[in-house]
Structure 1
């Protein structure tokens, strides 16, 4: 039976309220992505592709497989990875290792570790080892922060925490649990990013700028710590998701666990309060609410809902209105960004294509980037947020 929310949403779009749609938005989103071949280890031309977006979807599919037992999700994960990991564990599909030194591809690493733990196949461990070896020589700032990419010297971006450090933590947990130096380093990645991007303004929202240039040479680098000028919702969303996912992995006996917990508990109520009071959603550029050209963006909103609900569920956060805020945002998402298709799939709207600090990092830049339908960065985040929302029931 359709939920009242689905019925109202469909009726508002002039669709038949009796359409045969899944009762779970998480399943609907995942099944829709699979039906379109999204996140399958291939690019649009059918060539192997290592993609952080695929890694994000695979994380959601893994959770759905564990929740439902539907092996379709596991098989899809494995098939996608097998397109970029050869039989001897070589990673193909555009992964450049020391030639590129990018953090983005490492987001597929948690899937390699998951498949190794489930199947015992050595090739997945060999592929994960390659990513771990990259971290040994990955360039850093003088403070120790990983550069986001080789082509962005001395720059740390919030995005990179999600891309690199969830894997770093999982690998350490699985194979080097007593490696105190590694746990110290993982904590440092989160802490340095937080310290160098935290807004010092006297008025809210007191959140995190998109990134910083420790060398102060980028055109956008501020005199104060070299941070970028705006708070971009998806960058902060990546960081928030990384916090709640890494806290699950980080040993509670290590002081770094409390350090990450403190950051989460500081940011979560500020994220809650930064939501638009009317819609409950978050602006693309959080530092400029209501400014002409700004809009409610779907990937960041979904990421915040996931992080806030998971944080409360896992006991990392006290509720303090966090759940109510997340539920309000979730209702906005399903009412405005989910569209039912005639073939039984759903479309996902209003995800901005990209956000980069390659340019000037201004409000005008962020708002000039187009949005996509079914952009996987947003669709996967919606699946994740739906998994957490449906746990409430």
Structure 2
């Protein structure tokens, strides 16, 4: 009983530290069974495990339920949980430890009602961010074959059919952001769209879907790429009417690190499901190569990390940012492991990974691992208005243990551990 009481205290402290409400401390933990190592060493997270597992266990300590991973105070359908749970799936496949599977499964149990309704999700908003957690449901349906997951997946797939598009066919980021294509949206929507197509769509419909997916990347390369630097702008407004948009090009003013990070992960994850014989594969692989070349050019020579605004490392207020750094490392090391990039690119990926561990990771006395200097959120437009200026990006909130950084760090760690 003593141990259980101590456990609850640890959760309560962790949750209060995240600015979350105390009631969460009473939520059942899926990681409640201690390993013998834990008991012997007095560590909540054993230090003799690989970084992937250490970070995953740390996330489960901080956020006993996976819906909390976005610092949510109540269950909410959002995207960061899915990135961390992608890591949990892979760690479960690697270790067979049931606590990881339970963590994923409990997310599905909580977020999807028996009739297939998705908690807090509103299809009519046509927000592409909302497709990302569909990846968790694809995994759970494959494992558990529950009808409610299939119904929820079909609802998300309906969103793709109705998602507003530019004249060329690129998805708008959200219905409330007309004519706007954001780099973020490629990661939020395309891996889900491709995986769903692979699992459920056949014949001519599948071919049409795969062509549509590849076109999204072709369109971004055409409209958001800066030929001088090789970097891609955060967003593009086809109408050129938005206050943040350049009146001639429609482009947003800056190269935001995480936007580029999302785009890299989108490309490398889509290739997991795009058929080997699809003519678009070679193009996406060529985009990964030019993307990685550009990213390496802006890697800090000393630390191996990347800045919040990529091309202005010396500007006042800029900082080495954790989420983008983890995403770039993941994109490159996975691309090397898959054969999309030559082995020589592993050097830059490893330098970035070592830089994260040396400069951005701290470990508490109880073994819990933290990832620091994560940009909490950044976007464009909305209220209050986000103008995409340099000052805007460097003044957004910075926090530790954001799923948009811990998730890619887990995934990158797994690639290095292969």
* Residues 14-33 of structure 1: pairs in structure 2 closer than 5 A: 21-33=47-59
Distance change >3 Å, CA 23–CA 323, structure 1 → 2: same
Residue 362 of structure 2, aligned match among 333, 336, 339: 339
With normalisation by structure 2, the TM-score equals 0.85
> What is the distance in 1 between the residues matched to 2:65 and 2:222?
34
* Residues 116-155 of structure 1: pairs in structure 2 closer than 5 A: 116-155=141-180
Residue in structure 1 matched with residue 114 of structure 2 by the alignment:
87
Q: Is 2:377 the counterpart of 1:354?
A: yes
Q: Which runs of 5+ in 2 are unaligned?
A: 1-41
Q: Tell me the alpha carbon deviations over residues 126-161 of structure 1, each in whole angstroms, 9 at most, x when there is no partner.
A: 111100001101111111111101111110101011
> What is the distance in 1 between the residues matched to 2:97 and 2:262?
27
Q: Is 2:200 the counterpart of 1:175?
A: yes
Residue in structure 2 matched with residue 237 of structure 1 by the alignment:
261
Distance change >3 Å, CA 252–CA 219, structure 1 → 2: same
Shift of 1:224: 4.5
Q: Tell me the alpha carbon deviations over residues 217-267 of structure 1, each in whole angstroms, 9 at most, x when there is no partner.
A: 111212443111111111110110111111111012111212211211221
Q: Is 2:98 the counterpart of 1:75?
A: no
* Residues 208-287 of structure 1: pairs in structure 2 closer than 5 A: 208-287=232-311
Residue 401 of structure 2, aligned match among 354, 366, 374: 374
CA contact (8 A) 1:39 1:376 kept: no
> What is the distance in 2 between the residues matched to 1:55 and 1:333?
22
Residue in structure 2 matched with residue 165 of structure 1 by the alignment:
190
Shift of 1:195: 1.4
Shift of 1:289: 2.1
Shift of 1:343: 2.3
Indicate the SS of the match to 2:362: strand
User: How big is the alpha-carbon RMSD for the aligned residues of Structure 1 and Structure 2?
Assistant: 1.6
Indicate the SS of the match to 1:277: coil
Residue in structure 2 matched with residue 317 of structure 1 by the alignment:
341
With normalisation by structure 1, the TM-score equals 0.90
Q: Which runs of 5+ in 1 are unaligned?
A: 1-17
> What is the distance in 2 between the residues matched to 1:314 and 1:225?
35
Indicate the SS of the match to 1:83: helix
> What is the distance in 1 between the residues matched to 2:166 and 2:249?
13
Residue in structure 1 matched with residue 13 of structure 2 by the alignment:
none
Shift of 1:200: 2.8
Q: Tell me the alpha carbon deviations over residues 325-361 of structure 1, each in whole angstroms, 9 at most, x when there is no partner.
A: 1111111111111111122211110000111112210
Q: Tell me the alpha carbon deviations over residues 266-294 of structure 1, each in whole angstroms, 9 at most, x when there is no partner.
A: 21122122201111111110121221211
CA contact (8 A) 2:321 2:373 kept: yes
CA contact (8 A) 2:240 2:248 kept: no
Residue in structure 2 matched with residue 292 of structure 1 by the alignment:
316
> What is the distance in 2 between the residues matched to 1:343 and 1:151?
45
Distance change >3 Å, CA 127–CA 298, structure 1 → 2: same
Distance change >3 Å, CA 172–CA 72, structure 1 → 2: same
Q: Is 2:91 the counterpart of 1:101?
A: no
Q: Tell me the alpha carbon deviations over residues 30-55 of structure 1, each in whole angstroms, 9 at most, x when there is no partner.
A: 00001112661257575221110001
> What is the distance in 1 between the residues matched to 2:327 and 2:197?
25
